[in-house]
Amino acid sequence: MISAHGLARTFSTKTGPVAAVKGVDFEVAEGEIVGLLGPNGAGKTTTLRMLTTLLTPTSGTATVAGADLITQSREVRRRIGYVAQIGATPAPGTILGEELVTQARLQGMSKVEASARLVEMLPRLDLSGFEKRALSEMSGGQRRRFDIALGLMHNPKLVFLDEPTTGLDPQSRANLWDHIRALRDEHSVTIVLTTHYLEEADVLADRLLVMDGGAIVADDTPDALKARVCPATSSASASTATWRSPRPSPAKRCSRAPASSKAVDWCSPSNAATPPFLHCCAPSMPQGCRSARCRSTGRRSTTCS
């Protein structure tokens, strides 16, 4: 579905050029849910914007949904769906049904086709009865489902979701996860999403591309990654992928993870809501740390003050 080679983007800023993405290579197979995981500023959104034709790569090439990203960008746009990060509250005059039809028509559907598609999409995303509602009056979760419907109006086989659940309450998030999974399971849509929630990456993705500092630092399944980061507690075999920087020592780990450390604590509940400065489950307990059992895996993890 996607094949990217040396995709890079440098932004020119007042303080000189900043390499947001430094030449990434990866593949996404049909029917996969792939998560781009990493802290803010890791280059996830820039990668996504390049793959969706919103940002021209400084260098590198990619094939997206069978079309060349650079020379056939219009064809790429025809074939993909894109759901942006949650935006500002829509203008008061924006009506849900109208907006979805507008989107479908810009995708090239006729008025009749677009209206028929609207009727089909509303119940699929639990938006029945919202057709004439103003978007500005809807809740965050409802608006997010509308955003997803926008990206699906033209029935794309590949959908990009940029931080689909950021800013939502736990219930709305779980609900959205169900919708995203149903996309793949029931409608065989390939999905690429970005997230900085470890929990979300773990629950949704078949495969994770861990990004940091504009590079992909790991490419593996969530289980294999967990096994690698916490070898003592897992029976899964180590993978061949390697981390860019060495794992921090146990002492360092407990002195409030520095911004450059790259170990994942998959269990820590606090990491569910903060960027994953990947930090490891400590085998022995240093001073100032306490141990807690991870609900989802049953494994113990350490949090430090």
Partner 1 sequence: MLTETWVVFARQMKQQLRNPVWVFFGLTQPILYLVLFGPLLKNISGGGFNGKNSWNVFVPGLLLQLAIFGAGFAGFGIIQELREGVVDRQRVTPAHRSSLILGRTLTNVVTIGVQAVLLTLVALPFGTRPALVGSIIAIVVIAVLSLGMAAASYTMGLILKDEDSFAPMVQGVSLPLLLLSGVLLPMAAAPGWLRHISQANPLSYVIDAVRSLFVGDLSSTTVVKGAVIGLAVTVLLGWWATRRFQRDSA
* Cα–Cα distance for residue pair 305/164, rounded to 1 Å: 30
Find the binder of partner 1 among 19, 54, 241, 285 (CB under 8 A). Answer: 54
Relative to beta strand 80-83, strand 158-162 is: parallel
For partner 1, the closer CB: 91 or 259: 91
Find the binder of partner 1 among 16, 87, 246, 298 (CB under 8 A). Answer: 87
Residue 119 neighbours by CB under 8 Å, 6+ apart: none
Find the binder of partner 1 among 27, 32, 98, 206 (CB under 8 A). Answer: 98
Residue 126 neighbours by CB under 8 Å, 6+ apart: 145, 175, 179
Find the binder of partner 1 among 2, 8, 45, 53 (CB under 8 A). Answer: 53
Write down the least CB distance from residue 178 to partner 1, Å. 23
Chain positions 136 to 195 lying near partner 1, rule: CB under 8 A, are 147, 150-151
Kindly give the interhelix angle for 170-187 and 140-152, rounded to the nearest 10 degrees: 20
Contact 155, 185 (CB under 8 A): no
* Cα–Cα distance for residue pair 155/18, rounded to 1 Å: 36
- The DSSP code sequence of 140-180 is HHHHHHHHHHHHHTT--SEEEEESTTTT--HHHHHHHHHHH
Chain positions 108 to 147 lying near partner 1, rule: CB under 8 A, are 108, 147
Kindly give the interhelix angle for 111-124 and 140-152, rounded to the nearest 10 degrees: 140
Residue 106 interacts with partner 1 (CB under 8 A): yes or no: yes
For partner 1, the closer CB: 147 or 265: 147
Site string for partner 1, 55-84 (x = CB under 8 A): xx-----------------xx-xx-x-x-x
Residue 103 interacts with partner 1 (CB under 8 A): yes or no: yes
Write down the least CB distance from residue 242 to partner 1, Å. 32
Residue with tokens 């240093």: 286
Residue 16 interacts with partner 1 (CB under 8 A): yes or no: no
Q: What phi and psi, each to the nearest 5 degrees, are found at residue 13?
A: -120, 175
Q: Would you give the DSSP letter of residue 118?
A: H
Write down the least CB distance from residue 22 to partner 1, Å. 16
Find the binder of partner 1 among 14, 15, 16, 91 (CB under 8 A). Answer: 91
Chain positions 242 to 281 lying near partner 1, rule: CB under 8 A, are none
Residues binding partner 1: number (CB under 8 A): 34
3-class SS shares of the chain: helix, strand, coil, % to 5 = 35, 25, 40
For partner 1, the closer CB: 32 or 99: 99
Footprint of partner 1 on this chain (CB under 8 A)? 11, 49, 52-56, 74-75, 77-78, 80, 82, 84-85, 87-94, 98-99, 102-103, 105-108, 147, 150-151
